[in-house]
Amino acid sequence: MLQQLFSPSVQHTLDLIGIFVFAISGALLAVRKNFDVFGIAVLAEVTALGGGLLRDLIIGAVPPAAFTDLGYFLTPLLAALLVFFLHPQVERIQLGVNVFDAAGLGLFCVAGTVKAYDYGLNLTASAALGLATAVGGGVLRDVLANEVPSLLRWDRDLYAVPAIVGATMIVLCIHYDALNAFTSGFAVITAFVLRLLAMRFHWRAPRAWHRRSTVTEE
């Protein structure tokens, strides 16, 4: 089904773009944490490939694409090299990086959902793996950097919710036999725009009702 939505070359190009941008975010966090060059490369690789690797292992698509396509492995290293030498300049265009990161979120939640369904998972499980594909690398990045994953923090703009929306739109399209290049593209754009709006207006998920927490707010 995934091959029916986009040609292999287009799909591969989109994957590499998403991988590159995710790797940039991982490498930048490594620089902020004062990691050495190896740590920068590791965090770039994990952020870029972690979600897809997790998905492929769960659905049995082995060896995972990250290990069979040299471009998937080398692209995060290129991003790490760029950040290693030019991180002040990259930091100055953080807004642009965030925009491309939002686009990668939309692409990966859709591609992950479709691939999971192609491998025989039901609609709910496919949507869950679509979400994992989009946000899994970021979670692994934060854990390795000894931070509470941004996904779980109330003081971070919505990230998982746009991916959930995109993945849900895809499984609904599958259920109603309406999945095609147009509807999948619309799901990507929806997730992308929701993430941009969340960053622009600082939308955040609600916390527990009548919360009585003693945890210090950051």
Write out pLDDT tens, residues 32-82.
Answer: 999 999 999 999 999 999 999 999 999 999 999 889 999 999 999 999 999
Residue with the bigger pLDDT between 207 and 110: it is 110
Residue with the bigger pLDDT between 74 and 96: it is 74
Q: pLDDT category, 216, cuts 50, 70, 90?
A: low
Work out the burial of residue 177: count CB atoms within 10 Å of its CB; fewer than 13 is exposed, 13-18 middle, 19 or more buried. exposed
pLDDT at 217: 53
Supply the pTM of this predicted model: 0.89
Q: Structure tokens of 50? A: 């972690």
Could you give the CA distance from residue 92 to residue 86 in angstroms, rounded to a whole number?
Answer: 10
Q: pLDDT category, 1, cuts 50, 70, 90?
A: low
Per domain, the residue ranges of the chain are 2-201
Average of per-residue pLDDT across 84-106: 87
Taking Cα atoms as reference points, which of 70, 77, 130, 136 lies closest to residue 106?
A: 130
Taking Cα atoms as reference points, which of 140, 129, 139 lies closest to residue 163?
A: 129
Q: Structure tokens of 212? A: 């009585």
Checking if the pLDDT of 5 tops 70, the result is no
pLDDT at 105: 94
pLDDT at 14: 82
Q: What are the residue ranges of helices labelled H in 1-69? A: 2-5, 8-32, 37-59, 65-68
Q: Is the Cβ–Cβ distance between 60 and 95 less than 8 Å? A: no
pLDDT tens digits, one per residue of 108-119: 999 999 999 999
Q: Which of 16-30, 41-55, 202-216 has the lowest mean pLDDT?
A: 202-216
pLDDT tens digits, one per residue of 132-191: 999 999 999 999 999 999 888 888 999 999 999 999 999 999 999 999 989 999 999 999
Checking if the pLDDT of 93 tops 90, the result is no
